[in-house]
Structure 1
Amino acid sequence: WRAPKTLEAALCVQLCVCGSVLLYAVNLQFTQKHRSSTLCSTMYLVSILFASLAITPLVLKMFFPYIWKDAFYLANLVRTLLKFVLRRRRKPLFLVLDRFLEQSVAHADRPFIVFENKTYSYLDTDRRSNKIANALQRHSKLRPGDTVALFMGNEPAFIFTWLALAKLGCPVALLNYNIRSRSLLHCFNCCSAKLLIAAEELQEAVEEVLPSLREQGVCVYLMTKQCDTLGVEGFSDQVEEASDTPLPQALRSDITFKSPALYIYTSGTTGLPKAAVLNQNRLLAALAVLDSTGVIPGDVIYLNLPLYHTAGFLIGFIGSIETGSTIILRRKFSASQFWDECRKYNVTVVQYIGEVLRYLCNTPKRDNDREHNVRLAIGNGVRAEIWREFLNRFGNIYVREFYASTEGNVGLINYTGKIGAIGRVNYLHRKLFPYALIKYDTERDEPIRDSTGLCVEAPKGETGLLVSKITDIAPFVGYANSQQTEKKRLRDVFQKGDLYFNSGDLLKIDQDNFIYFQDRVGDTFRWKGENVATTEVADILTLIDFVQEANVYGVQVPGNEGRIGMAAVTVKVGEQFDGNKTFSHVASYLPAYARPRFIRIQNVVEVTGTFKQMKVRLVEEGFDPASITDPLYILQERKQSYTPMTGQIYSSIVAGIIKL
């Protein structure tokens, strides 16, 4: 027996004691009136049984406070796995598209997409996607299995087009609509796409890479009625004229669960974005994400995360197909309009990344902050202090923080609501999807190994690298590039010959088995909810004619999630740094979140003995001009230039007056 450590535990003890005393008193009074030993013995046994049943839940709650939540999670996990296995056994092959077709029959008139005051039911969506598929079948040379690149923002046409391509049996590469020029061409080429379908507003970006696309014989369709650009075909008229009759299932007859379904691009530590391959099996598994968090058909989901992103596509879109929910689709996130739209559309479920909740907390307080129907927020990357502030301000919203990666084979979810945690160690989950935290040498950027050459598991309370065993249940498909795939495989972890997925993330498990995210290894940092690869940014900077070398890293800004980009550059002999030209260059080649906000001019870029750029000291020194003697510049959007960094600007940033 141990002393209770909390008020709740103390109350449980008092209830147990009072209950036992009460039962004893009742039994004693009864036995004084009835002297039959047999009857008394029976009553003793009955009272003990009832006492045990009464106090057992209280005792369990006191000494194992999460036992019931653990039990419900296990039951939910088993239910989800059973549903997945049963679907895997269905003949003919059951895919995500088939689940959508089921919903369009069962709930034909139910709203599926609400966008800018226009509503599309499940049946409307089915028919619109049929029109696009029939138009493609008639006017293009697409064949089942051909990859198509989709270059669109958040709009219903994105969803219609993806469903159409799924009906044609074509895998789809989801291109980030922020990328331009070299990055856009790279992303298109690495998935070997035969066709590019782009939104009308992205015509200029398409025209930048059009000469290269034409050289490859690639067809380009623009979602507009007419296009005068040679090599780009307007596609909207063809869609409107097409039939909305269903397409034959035979078009998908050659698809297997191992067939690629999606290419989603993720920034790594080795340069340009990597195309993560998601096969049909992985996509089918994604159906369970919203369902397993308690989302139901009557829920209304607010989707403002980009559809080219894993969170927006797999959780918001694919997850809604499973639950039969309604999606409120928005082009971009707007903190000022977020709650007004949630009230307008009676939203019950919202998605977030850490930045989203912080932006909401930074908006001016209003009297109706708690007047909404949102009951569930699903996402990742929120800091504990923002989490608390969000709940205190906006009410009793259940925050479901999770951990996952686009290409990874392990996922964690905080089903207990413990603020700050990304998950909890669970015996069955760890047996089905074996993972571990191993000791990691951040200086050498590699796992620590013992004298036998095997990795060393990090003890509780210590930060370690998350690795997950690659098995039939938890496969790792990897990337379109086989070399990039091999770099994420870690061998000889706990036994000679075993194979694990290297997440690249540092986590920590506390004494109560809660798991917390700590940091990312390598050169990637996260800003505005996007991963930024420092080598990609450095490559772009060195294309400037006066830049000799560039060392890119992320620095922390008080009051902001993640780290913002900064670059230490050296200028060629006889040249000078030009802020106007630098701004013009990075704005042309990089999306806003990847552009270095600060630039530091150095005489030489420091390297290690193995010629690796040294970043640790630069990160620690940050962007304070008072502690740095090198010239410092800050990106000024209004002036469209990099201008000298001053102490006054630095103070305004730290105070939160200047927003980054």
Structure 2
Amino acid sequence: MHLTVTFMPLYVYLSLYSCVLLPLWNMYVFLTAVAGLLLLALPLVQTRFPYLGQDFAYILRSIKLGIRLTKYKKVQPFYSILDCFLDAVRSHPSKVFVHFEGRAHTYEEADKHSNRVARALQAEVRLQEGDPVALFLPNEPTFIWVWLGLAKLGCPAALLNFNIRSKSLLHCFSCCGAKRLCVFAELQDAVEEVLPTLKEQGISVYLLSETCSTQGISTLSDKIRQASDEPLSRDLRANVNIKSTALYIYTSGTTGLPKAAIVSHERVWAASFIQAVCGVTENDIFYINLPLYHSAGFLIGMAGAIERGITIILRRKFSASQFWDDCRKYNVTVMQYIGETMRYLCNTPKKDNEKDHKVRVAIGNGVRTDIWSEFLSRFGDIKVRELYAATEGNIGFINYTSKIGAVGRVNFVHRFFFPYTLIKFDIEKEEPVRNADGLCVEAARGETGLLVGRVTQRSPFIGYAGNKQQTEKKRLRDVLKKGDLYFNTGDLLRFDSENFVYFQDRVGDTFRWKGENVATSEVADILTMAHSILEANVYGVKVEGHEGRIGMAAVTLKEGEDFDCLDAYKQVVNYLPAYARPRFIRIQPCLEMTGTFKMKKVKLVEEGFNPANITDPLYFLDPEKKTYVPLTEEIYKAIASREIKL
């Protein structure tokens, strides 16, 4: 990658060097020298500080990337991830960029495809720089070509979840303010459901197809095929800068309708560096089976691959049964995971060749400790790089060590550039604990607290498009001193004595019963230890006449298994305190998930545990019978009348 700074005024460059780059470079030189001294005393240091080497390697790598990002902020004309892609096209045009369903697309081919898309959009859609366009597209190369084409025109893309329909689809589309919707042919029916409303709002719909008989939908594929693949002028995106909106990426919607996080070009760069931080090199091959509409697949996966100049293997959707075959076929060296994907891999039948692959790094988030251990035992010595981050957030962590269960480490450099803290949180009131001065109270080391990141120029919180109310809800003021401003992550974390960071639960998921806090993730882990239970979604439900919320779990069963009431009872009694034991179990054929395997809870919480309103089998933990029993109308009425005490 080459940056042209020839035309930058000398005083600007010197100012930049002295104010920003010089301190970073001095720190880099200092840390390099310290690292050299530590090598001399390596045996003693490793015994006393087992993670010091990894800490220094991570810090040095982060500072180098910080220097690069600082350059990108100042250099003119603005150097975007698109420019990085164009540099890759020039430096290795014949290198495979995307493998998809048996076909390879080189960097040069991707460039030409996107040139045709950009020209078709320019001519047919009449796009101007800055016009947002919503993409309703599945995981396939066309998604990438369309996004690159929009980037060449200086237009941000709103990445719609292709699984949403009706009300959710209209909601997500309206958030970003787009007046154009680009749709894949296979999703035409979903758009036709809401087409009358789109017409009323003056929305133009463009179908990636050669033909379409539906009035109000224009075709685009025929225009793309006829368009020139010649490069486009950089002047078309002349006003785009590092603070400009590059994307709208939607939150998963586990606790309501999705929100459109505004993703600037600066954030695109920062997320793309995660691969580099995790040790990915230009020789790696990256496997993307997560949806491209999500930040993990798009920013960490695809944008990260462009930043590294590597080859990606793209799948329409995750397949546990075909995962390792794909890895062997394409010599994959880096994989992604999120949510439950790693557990799905561990649930596949065991095979003799499970360790016969070249995967060396796994990047993702949300893996349970027991699954993490099982994954390594079954599939070999893979460096799992567990992340903690949010698309719209201003603070994140990476576990760059091999410490199982941690989502990151605390270090002074990270905290200096991106200030954050853990504060005490009242689960029952669902608000931070404040002292007599109205300020928040910092959580002690080892104590669970709410993670908040200070909003600064280096770590901004931009908010959600078209939703000022939700944006304001994420802003927390007067945290450590009057007038300060922090981003409320909504997540409960814990820092241990070794500086490791552990995710505990989400604020909305944690509930309070009998005066105690219950972490749903912990209860779910215990329930899935029961031999008949495959998955568990734990939540709290209201009981009339009682304070707080009592534990309930929706579970799915393993194939061919019936619910083993006694075994489930033994698990929760042996491993959970009385207040945390789920008193109600709901057996479901499948759990409702988001596109990134996060469990939805809102509807389950609303439905509660009344057997008259629920057709799924329900069970009640009966402490007298020492087992779970079917929840009948009689038991429900006895609970409501307090004949049965909870």
The two structures have a TM-score, normalised by structure 2, of 0.77
Give the equivalent residue in structure 1 for 2:259: 274
* Alignment counterpart, residue 175 of structure 2, candidates 190, 197, 201: 190
Q: CA deviation at 1:621?
A: 9.8
Show the 5 A alignment for 1:577-588.
none
Q: CA deviation at 1:314?
A: 0.4
Mark the runs of 5 or more structure 1 residues left unpaired by the alignment.
1-51, 526-553, 569-604, 649-653, 655-660
Mark the runs of 5 or more structure 2 residues left unpaired by the alignment.
1-36, 512-522, 557-562, 570-581, 592-612, 621-627, 629-646
Give the equivalent residue in structure 1 for 2:476: 490
* Alignment counterpart, residue 119 of structure 1, candidates 104, 108, 131: 104
Q: CA deviation at 1:282?
A: 1.2
Give the equivalent residue in structure 2 for 1:558: 528
Give the equivalent residue in structure 1 for 2:143: 158
- State how far apart, in whole Å, the 1-side matches of 2:477 and 2:458 are: 18
Give the equivalent residue in structure 2 for 1:500: 486
- State how far apart, in whole Å, the 2-side matches of 1:58 and 1:303 are: 40
- State how far apart, in whole Å, the 2-side matches of 1:53 and 1:304 are: 41
* Alignment counterpart, residue 521 of structure 1, candidates 482, 502, 507: 507
Give the equivalent residue in structure 2 for 1:213: 198
Q: 2:553 touches 2:585 (CA, 8 Å); kept in 1?
A: no
Q: 1:625 touches 1:646 (CA, 8 Å); kept in 2?
A: no
Change beyond 3 A, Cα 1:53–1:308: closer
- State how far apart, in whole Å, the 1-side matches of 2:396 and 2:184 are: 33
- State how far apart, in whole Å, the 2-side matches of 1:473 and 1:562 are: 40
Change beyond 3 A, Cα 1:183–1:91: same
Change beyond 3 A, Cα 1:625–1:375: closer
Query: What do residues 320-352 of structure 1 show as CA deviations (whole Å, max 9, x unaligned)?
Result: 000011010000000000001100001000000
Change beyond 3 A, Cα 1:354–1:187: closer
Give the equivalent residue in structure 2 for 1:619: 552
Q: CA deviation at 1:562?
A: 8.1
Partner SS, residue 366 of structure 1: coil
- State how far apart, in whole Å, the 2-side matches of 1:615 and 1:294 are: 46
Q: CA deviation at 1:563?
A: 5.2
Change beyond 3 A, Cα 1:390–1:84: same
Q: CA deviation at 1:476?
A: 0.7
- Does residue 262 (structure 1) correspond to residue 247 (structure 2)? The answer is yes
Task: Name the stretch that deviates more: 182-191 or 66-75.
Answer: 66-75
Q: 1:506 touches 1:519 (CA, 8 Å); kept in 2?
A: yes
Query: What do residues 492-511 of structure 1 show as CA deviations (whole Å, max 9, x unaligned)?
Result: 11011111110000000111
- Does residue 104 (structure 1) correspond to residue 89 (structure 2)? The answer is yes
Task: Name the stretch that deviates more: 179-188 or 81-90.
Answer: 81-90
Give the equivalent residue in structure 2 for 1:439: 424
Q: 2:446 touches 2:497 (CA, 8 Å); kept in 1?
A: yes
Q: CA deviation at 1:286?
A: 2.3
* Alignment counterpart, residue 348 of structure 2, candidates 343, 363, 376: 363
Partner SS, residue 455 of structure 1: coil
Change beyond 3 A, Cα 1:629–1:80: closer
Change beyond 3 A, Cα 1:620–1:120: closer
Query: What do residues 252-278 of structure 1 show as CA deviations (whole Å, max 9, x unaligned)?
Result: 112222221111111457631111000
Task: Name the stretch that deviates more: 446-455 or 270-279.
Answer: 270-279
Q: 1:450 touches 1:456 (CA, 8 Å); kept in 2?
A: yes
Give the equivalent residue in structure 2 for 1:349: 334
Q: For residue 645 of structure 1, what is the amino acid of its counterpart?
A: P
Change beyond 3 A, Cα 1:410–1:607: farther
- State how far apart, in whole Å, the 2-side matches of 1:186 and 1:361 are: 36
Q: For residue 175 of structure 1, what is the amino acid of its counterpart?
A: L
Q: CA deviation at 1:413?
A: 0.6
Q: 1:441 touches 1:447 (CA, 8 Å); kept in 2?
A: yes
Q: 1:633 touches 1:642 (CA, 8 Å); kept in 2?
A: no
- State how far apart, in whole Å, the 2-side matches of 1:465 and 1:426 are: 18
Change beyond 3 A, Cα 1:642–1:197: farther
Show the 5 A alignment for 1:295-334.
295-334=280-319
* Alignment counterpart, residue 453 of structure 1, candidates 435, 438, 443: 438
Give the equivalent residue in structure 1 for 2:496: 510
Q: 1:194 touches 1:218 (CA, 8 Å); kept in 2?
A: yes
Q: 2:38 touches 2:45 (CA, 8 Å); kept in 1?
A: no
- State how far apart, in whole Å, the 2-side matches of 1:271 and 1:345 are: 39
* Alignment counterpart, residue 230 of structure 1, candidates 206, 215, 218: 215
- State how far apart, in whole Å, the 1-side matches of 2:143 and 2:451 are: 34
- State how far apart, in whole Å, the 2-side matches of 1:82 and 1:213 are: 45
- State how far apart, in whole Å, the 2-side matches of 1:233 and 1:507 are: 49
Change beyond 3 A, Cα 1:188–1:561: farther
Change beyond 3 A, Cα 1:238–1:501: same
Q: For residue 522 of structure 1, what is the amino acid of its counterpart?
A: G
Q: For residue 307 of structure 2, what is the amino acid of its counterpart?
A: E
Q: 1:268 touches 1:524 (CA, 8 Å); kept in 2?
A: no
Q: 1:625 touches 1:632 (CA, 8 Å); kept in 2?
A: no
Q: How many matched pairs? A: 528
Q: For residue 100 of structure 1, what is the amino acid of its counterpart?
A: F
Q: 2:538 touches 2:554 (CA, 8 Å); kept in 1?
A: no
Q: Percent identity?
A: 53
Q: For residue 240 of structure 1, what is the amino acid of its counterpart?
A: R
Give the equivalent residue in structure 2 for 1:5: none
Give the equivalent residue in structure 1 for 2:275: 290
Q: Which of 1 and 2 has greater Rg?
A: 1
